[in-house]
Amino acid sequence: MRLATREEQEKLLKLMNETHQILDEMRLKALRGKPYDWREVDSLLQLAEGYDGPPRLTSGLVEMQRIFMKAHPKLRDEASK
């Protein structure tokens, strides 16, 4: 398996950013047109009230980076230099 070139990575990043923007606009448009429904709000509040897991204190980004570094030996070797 070959790694993507810098140019391929930049194209992918640009495409991902464009896609994110389009999806975000679609989500906001759908939410703006949605009528208020107290039953949905009540259901969401009940879900949150019943949560008994550990509190989420971070975004998880650092943990995700740690997992990626473990998974890819070449990146791990470069990071240790």
Q: Domain for residue 52, yes or no?
A: no
Q: Domain for residue 13, yes or no?
A: yes
Q: Domain for residue 50, yes or no?
A: no
Total tally of structural domains belonging to the chain: 1
| Full residue range of the structural domain in which residue 15 is found | 1-35
List of the chain residues with pLDDT < 70: 74-81
Encoded tokens for 50: 């019943």
Note whether 69 and 76 are within 8 A (CB): yes
Which residue carries 């994110």 as its tokens? 20
The pTM score is 0.44
Question: How many Å separate Cα 5 from the centre of its chain?
Answer: 24
Residue 13: half-sphere exposure toward Cβ, Cα within 13 Å: 7
pLDDT in tens, 69-81: 888 776 656 656 5
